[in-house]
Amino acid sequence: MQPVNIRKSHVEIGKLYFWTATINNWRRLLQEDALKETIISSLRHLSVERKIEVYAFVIMPNHLHFIWQLLEMNGKEKPHTSFLKFTAHSFKKYLKINNPDLLMSFAVVAENKSYEFWQRDSLAFELMKKETILQKIDYIHLQSNC
């Protein structure tokens, strides 16, 4: 029997995670307030729909960190997948109008998409100990003050 290959982004419903998503090639896409608002709007929507519980987050110019728990599936997909898809679609719509040159810098040749805003395999670290949770919350708070 071959070992199961679990991706870094593997998350399970009901568990608490420190989760990091990075903009493709570490580009500084999230400097604009409108794109930060896209992140916040998506989190708000998923929270109101009771798909996620967010305990802490920070948005930096080229990546973000969340402490969150996925509560239930969002249709056929996990909430983190919905989050990445929705934000990517919103980034595309915004950049098409406001910065077409920047949009083109995210162009890819792929069957299922024309642009890739998020790096593959977001990092998910399950939080099981109170000390680790507090350490990650402190880390997020420190990042938000930079």
**CATH code at 105?**
3.30.70.1290
Residue with tokens 């679990």: 6
- pLDDT for 8: 61
Coil, helix or strand for 124? Answer: strand
Full-model pTM: 0.91
Whether 136 is in a domain gets the answer: yes
Number of domains in the chain: 1
Q: What percent of the chain has pLDDT over 90?
A: 86
Whether 10 is in a domain gets the answer: no
Whether 95 is in a domain gets the answer: yes
- pLDDT for 87: 98
Report how far apart, in Å, the C-alpha atoms of 47 and of each of 42, 53, 108, 126 are: 8, 6, 31, 19
Domain residue limits at 90? 16-144
Whether 122 is in a domain gets the answer: yes
